[in-house]
Amino acid sequence: MTSPSRTMSNAAVYLGLAVGAVITLVPFGLGLLTSFTSARQFNTESPLSLPSPPTLANYTGLADAGFGRALVVTALMTAVILLGQLVFSVLAAYAFARLEFPGRDALFWVYVATLMVPATVTVVPLYLMMAETGLRNTFWALVLPFMFGSPYAIFLLREYFRTIPNDLIRAARVDGASTLDVIVHVVLPASRPILVTLGLITVVTQWNNFMWPLVITSGSQWRVVTVATAGLQSRYDGQWTLVMAATTVAIVPLIVAFVALGRHIVSSIVVTGLK
């Protein structure tokens, strides 16, 4: 039987969580409602008014503003970077975790140290590189800086790979497995949770990337969702109803991905926690 003090303490905890949930979720709800509100109603009534009547005009307005293309560009960019980052990060992390070569550890820590460098520091040299090679405002400019692995991914994978029992790898080697065989048959199956987690982090990071696409592209051809959303605001009008429709559309794929793959994130946390 639960004691009264424990009941009170549980109630307090749940109350705190409820308040936190409300603070977190209300902005999303407000954004969703605003996306169904006409511009006229939004400008002439309280921003908290319910849409009356609800309208899809903001969503059709997105189509007119070329938002569909921005979605396709962003999805394609994210897919390419995801594939590239996973492939190259896995290869690099395995090398740092399991291969022996001179300067391995020093090289690893130098690479990880680049995590401390703010992205804004590398924007200018990267831009100049793209401009000099004629890649400015192209799809390659969006993906090349990010598709060859990331220090964060390599660090995370390297630590995870080191927890895989060496006996498994030695057994595979005895069977005649090459390095690629070991990675494909032993390491990757054992690393599913962390790979899914990294994949989700990469997808979210690249989907929400704003500064680099803003700098390296111009116009509507290679605009991504973040830049397209910001571009909905004109010089003299915030166009908030359109912006809310855009953010609603932009967030749906991320929510779907998280719901579909969330359990893998939990299991990766559990596994690393037990270790």
Partner 1 sequence: MTAKSHAARGGDTVVLKPKFSTVFAATLALIFAVLMVAAVLLGHTGGSGGRTVVTVRLWDEQVAAAYRQSFEEFSREHPDIEVRVNVVAYKSYFDTLRTDVAGGGADDVFWLSNAYFAGYADNGRLLDIGQTLGPGTARAWDRSVVTQFTRNGVLWGVPQLTDAGIAVYFNADLLDQAGIGLEELLRLRWSPGNGDTLRGLLARLTVDADGNPAGTPGFDPGRIRQWGYNAANDLQGIYLDYIGSAGGAFQDGDRFAFDNAAAQQAFQYLVGLINDDHVAPPASDTNDNGDFSRNQFLSGRMALFQSGTYNLAAIADQARFRWGVAMLPAGPTGRVSVTNGIAAAGNSATAHPDAVREVLAWMGSPQGNRYLGVSGTAVPAVIAAQPAYFSYWAARGVDVTPFFKVLDGPHIPAPGGPGFAAGYQAFKPIFDEMFLGRRSVADSLAAAQSAANAAAER
Binding site for partner 1 (CB under 8 A): 39-40, 43-45, 65, 72-73, 76, 79-80, 83-84, 87, 127-128, 131, 136-139, 176, 178, 180-181, 183-185, 214-215, 218-222, 227, 230-238
The two structure tokens encoding residue 45: 């009534």
CB of 158 to partner 1, least distance (A): 20
Q: Are 35 and 244 in contact (CB under 8 A)?
A: yes
Q: Which is nearer to partner 1, 84 or 151 (CB)?
A: 84
CB of 231 to partner 1, least distance (A): 3
Compute the distance between CA of residue 142 and CA of residue 223 in angstroms, rounded to an integer.
10
Q: What distances in angstroms separate CA 65 from CA 33, 156, 217, 254, 260, one per listed residue?
A: 20, 40, 17, 22, 30
Q: Which is nearer to partner 1, 47 or 262 (CB)?
A: 47
Q: Which is nearer to partner 1, 65 or 249 (CB)?
A: 65
The two structure tokens encoding residue 120: 């804004």
The two structure tokens encoding residue 22: 């409300």
Q: Which is nearer to partner 1, 80 or 194 (CB)?
A: 80
Q: Which is nearer to partner 1, 61 or 151 (CB)?
A: 61
CB of 153 to partner 1, least distance (A): 16
> Helix or strand or coil: residue 177?
coil
CB of 21 to partner 1, least distance (A): 28
Q: Which is nearer to partner 1, 143 or 156 (CB)?
A: 143
CB of 26 to partner 1, least distance (A): 20
The two structure tokens encoding residue 5: 């003090």
> Helix or strand or coil: residue 176?
coil
Q: Using DSSP, how many helices (H) and how many strands (E) does the chain show?
A: 15, 0
CB of 209 to partner 1, least distance (A): 14
CB of 184 to partner 1, least distance (A): 4
Residues 6+ apart with CB under 8 A from 81: 143, 146, 147, 202, 206
Angle CA 248–252–254, to nearest 5 = 125
Q: Which is nearer to partner 1, 66 or 112 (CB)?
A: 66
Q: 133: closest CA among 123, 144, 122?
A: 144
The two structure tokens encoding residue 14: 């749940």
Q: Is 233 left (phi over 0), alpha (psi -120 to 50) or beta?
A: beta
